[in-house]
Structure 1
Amino acid sequence: MTQRQIRFNAFDMNCVAHQTSGLWRHPEDRSQTYTDIEYWTHLAKLLERGRFDGIFIADVLGTYDVYGGSNEAAIRHGAQVPVGDPVLLVSAMAAVTEHLGFGITAGTAYEHPYPFARRMSTLDHLTKGRVGWNVVTGYLPSAARNLGNDDQLEHDDRYDHADEYLEVLYKLWEGSWEDDAIIRDAETGVFADPSKVHEIGHRGKHFTVPGIHISEPSPQRTPVIYQAGASPRGVAFAAENAEAIFVGAPTKAVLKSTVGRIRDALEAAGRDRYAAKIYTLLTIITDETSEQAQAKYEDYLSYASEEGALVFMSGWMGIDLSKFALDEPVGNVPSNAIRSVIANFEEAAANGEQFTVADIARNGAIGGLGPTVVGSGVEIADLLEEWVAETDVDGFNLAYAITPGTFEDVVEHVIPELQRRGVYPTEYGSGTLREKLHGRGDKLPEEHRGAGYRVGTRTALA
């Protein structure tokens, strides 16, 4: 029987401090060069050498200003500010790689879907079908204010808005151009057949888009849909749309519960339980021996900022943690941000694993919302196999302590051991990102929500 393959994504952001605050000061960290294109091309080539599925590039359009009621601590620690646009990195990374995928974070709240559809089609063409889109609905009030709103929509309302956003995109990507609309007939002078290019005629609650998609169909048409929401509403949204799902869980027990809930929702939405790959957030500190890895971890901790960790956590949870005593447990607190973060801590408490504010600061100092594991390549490989077997997760979204050093260590110490055991790919498959992930072709499968908007389907004609 073929052994289940463990999958890796790299988790990064066009900034200095992504998940771990303070490590930019480490002498081996290169995150300060994030404004240099050479940083990104070097990282892309490294990840492709390690047979990573892709690089998942996070993004925000606001500052983390929940902690202390201002953005001063975020600015002081470089906590995802300053930050650059993730989309503009992809062409350069694609030019130096052949297989690596690119998961680009872009929100549905603050950009009209029409120009966004063209941007993603363009990248899908330029990368020969290696683009995915991480759909986010937004969670930072500062982003809402800077884009002309008093505050962000309520949590579930943001997903209702995103449902229509994706409807518009599916109509543009799938329902506007027929497969054979491009003729390129030099003798007749006809480049494209107008009878095979259709206006989408969308008029909804939030958007009115009457015309055609301005770009011709790309290799995947619709980019691979990524999603990272694990709240009940987020899971329902993912079950209809996502082909790769990112989760974060503080413990193995919480992860198992989260994965099971997502797979049940996929099935309830009429899709296969394994129609989406599920990756959990993890930071790996490794070296040749366990002792060397532990020493490396202690060295990293000496640079980490616990206040920076609380800045991040306050933003993710929507709660000003500066108002809590350090020994106070994180309880049942209403949140309009990432509700799954609160739910994870509540579930851990129900399983007898109580987290205080101090625990959050200490545990999140390296790795953010995900756990950090320390050990030799053999020890880490044992742990990863155990997590996959016990939680049914497909793979790991790997954050870094230092960059690119953390990724270099994984490629040097962990991946060869996993490959030796036959549980990690030694070569890439052929085709687009979607084909590499699921092996069912370059386009959306028939049972996917977006496939219902293809030219000639009932939904597309409605």
Structure 2
Amino acid sequence: MSKQIRFNAFQMNTVSHQSPGLWTHPRDTGHRYTDPDHWTELARLLEAGRFDAIFLADVLGAYDVYQGSADAALKHAVQAPLNDPLAVIPIMSQVTTHLGFGVTCALTYEHPYTFARRISTLDHLTRGRIGWNIVTGYLDSAARNLGLDRQLSHDERYDLADEYMEVVYKLWEQSWEDDAVVNDKERGIYADPAKVHPINHEGRYYKVPGFHLCEPSPQRTPVLYQAGTSPRGTAFAARHAECTFVSGPSKKVVKKYVDDLRAVGSERLIIYAQALIITAPTEAEARAKHEEYRRHIDIEAALALLSGWTGVDFSQFALDATIEYIDSDAGRSALASFSQADPNRKWTVREAAEFIGLGGRGPVLVGDPAQVADQLEAWQDETGIDGFNLAFAVAHESMRDVVELIVPELQRRGRYRKDYTAGTLREKLFGRSRRT
């Protein structure tokens, strides 16, 4: 029996996410990101489409590598301005029952003691539907605005992350016993002090002597997502991740990432690959929509985004120059997917910009519902992924097209669920209540 396909919606609390330039499309509603209705409409749509989760990306800083300035990012709304992703989760949870919420938080810049409380609060308010995408950050601008000259080196960020995880696990899993809360009104005892324990953590980076401020939430530890595909990132994912995201322009690139993750991680790891779906009732309409979207690609905006991802200022290269792998302390995966991951393909700067200008670093799947379903099945069957982290071109049109056209087609084929199971996000994904 064929494996079912899973969907996440890849979003960001900003005007434009993975398709820089497409905010100029007349049907795009990304400028409404400050309106709570923008988020509740999206949440209802995704739950109707039986998506696993809405996955909220985030960065703490500006894309200021291109031309040594944030001007291009501001001019073209390249993930700027950018609001806090955690704040929209409670309002979306109030209009849904099953949809999960994966939120990106950079552990490098937030103390684990306060962060653990924030996530526990969200797990309570969503009734156990919160997930955390663990990132270490990649923008020097974020480090500077938080009082550092520059970010830590790539591998040292993961050293810090290992200890960070040790601290939050202690807070979430070990501080409060399962029966610590007694809520006894007659005796006037809410929590049994003998069953609430200080964690007494003292390490290289953190000192946290006290107990967790929150009583146990439905999941205790949120579902853990991770997206690094560098050797150090893969090793980190093997220890901590329950779900992971990969991005690559071809099946060959994605399959290599999947094989590497499967080799070091759990077989139960759920792997989502980034993709953009452009569809319509007929192939001709879908192709016309694709060409319409392509006319809104902005090369400068795409290069500002790519420069921020990689730490390489692409304004210094001719558009027809080929991209070679350059080691940097920014995001290694982004550059590697266009260079070393597929040595038989040489990308020019222009080709890379045009590619990420529509949907980011994943494939663009175009066609009528049957054609797109064929492509989704082929990607899953040939790479070993479990599902897709779907970017959008036009908000909320892209997601609406998937829900109304692609989901029913996959359901007819038996490749997509028709309803949710009960329980927390972890129970829906894995059939268990606690992280093991």
TM-score bucket (shorter structure):
over 0.9
SS at match of 1:145: helix
Shift of 1:309: 0.6
Tell me the amino acid that sits aligned with residue 405 of structure 2. Answer: H
Contact 1:159 1:234 in 2 (8 A): yes
CA contact (8 A) 1:254 1:347 kept: no
Aligned-partner Cα distance in 2 for 1:356–1:429: 46
> Do 1:348 and 1:354's aligned partners in 2 also have CA atoms closer than 8 Å?
no
**TM-fit CA distance, 1:342:** 2.2
What is the Cα deviation at residue 343 of structure 1? 2.1
Which residue number in structure 1 is paired with residue 421 of structure 2?
429
In structure 2, distance between residues paired with 1:63 and 1:347: 27
Cross-structure match for 1:121:
120
Q: Which residue of 1 aligns with 2:371?
A: 379
For residue 290 of structure 1, what is the aligned residue in structure 2?
283
| Separation of aligned partners in 2, 1:330 and 1:69 | 19
Q: Which amino acid aligns with 2:371?
A: E
3-state DSSP of counterpart to 2:234 = helix
| 1:337 corresponds to which of 330, 335, 340 | 330
Q: Which amino acid aligns with 2:125?
A: L
Query: Partner residue of 1:454?
Result: none
Alpha-carbon shift at residue 344 of structure 1 (Å): 1.8
Does residue 333 of structure 2 align to residue 324 of structure 1? no
Question: 1:348 Cα deviation (Å)?
Answer: 4.7
Paired residue for 1:458? none
Q: Deviation at 1:329?
A: 1.1
Off by >3 Å, runs of 4+ in structure 1: none
Q: Are positions 1:399 and 2:391 aligned together?
A: yes
Q: Aligned equivalents of 1:379 and 1:283: distance in 2?
A: 14
Conserved 8 A contact 2:20-2:357: yes
State the shift of 1:24 in Å. Answer: 1.2
Task: Answer whether contact 1:306 1:364 (CA < 8 A) is retained.
Answer: no
Residue 269 of structure 1 aligns with which residue? none
Query: Retained in 2: the 8 A contact 1:14–1:85?
Result: yes
CA contact (8 A) 1:5 1:424 kept: yes
Counterparts of 1:372 and 1:216, CA distance in 2: 44
Counterpart CA distance in 2 for 1:373 and 1:6 is 15
Q: Which amino acid aligns with 1:393?
A: I
1:220 aligns with 2:206: no
Of 437, 443, 459 in structure 1, the residue corresponding to residue 434 of structure 2 is 443
1:409 and 2:401 equivalent?
A: yes
Secondary structure of 2:109's aligned partner: coil
Alpha-carbon offset, residue 184 of structure 1: 1.1
**1:279 touches 1:395 (CA, 8 Å); kept in 2?**
yes
CA deviations over 1:231-261 (Å, ceiling 9, x no partner) = 1100100110001101101111011111000
Structure 1 residue 423: Cα displacement: 0.5
Counterpart in the other structure of 1:209 = 208
Q: Which residue of 1 aligns with 2:271?
A: 278
Separation in 1 of the partners of 2:15 and 2:338? 27
Q: CA RMSD in A?
A: 0.9
- Aligned-pair distance for 1:346? 2.5
Using the TM superposition, give the Cα deviation of residue 71 of structure 1 relative to its aligned residue in structure 2, in angstroms.
0.6
Stretch deviating more after TM superposition (105-114 or 331-340): 331-340
Give the TM-score taking structure 1 as reference length.
Answer: 0.93
Q: Is residue 250 from structure 1 mapped to residue 243 from structure 2 by the alignment? A: no
Q: Distance in 2 between matches of 1:442 and 1:41?
A: 27
**Residues of 1 paired with 2:152 and 2:361: CA distance?**
23
Equivalent-residue separation in structure 2 for 1:99 and 1:428 (angstroms) = 7
In the alignment, the residues of structure 2 paired with residue 233 and residue 223 of structure 1 have an alpha-carbon distance, to the nearest angstrom, of 22
Aligned to 2:37: 38
Question: Alpha-carbon deviations, 1:251-273, whole Å to 9, x = none?
Answer: 1101111100001011xxxxx32
Q: TM-score, normalised by structure 2?
A: 0.99
SS in 1 for 2:172: helix
Aligned-partner Cα distance in 1 for 2:226–2:77: 26
Give aligned-pair identity as a percent: 56
SS in structure 2 opposite 1:416?
Answer: helix
Provide the C-alpha distance between the structure 2 equivalents of 1:410 and 1:346, rounded to a whole number of angstroms: 31
- 1:7-32: CA deviation from partner (whole Å, max 9, x where unpaired): 00000000011111111111111100
Question: Residue type matched to 1:297 in 2?
Answer: H
Aligned to 1:100: 99
Q: Distance in 2 between matches of 1:323 and 1:131?
A: 41
Give the Cα separation in 2 of the matches to 1:107 and 1:312. Answer: 18
Aligned length: 436
**Deviations, residues 378-410 of structure 1 (Å, cap 9, x unaligned):** 000000001111100000000000010000001
Q: Which amino acid aligns with 1:335?
A: S
Q: Which residue does 1:453 correspond to in 2? A: none
2:360 matched to which residue of 1?
368
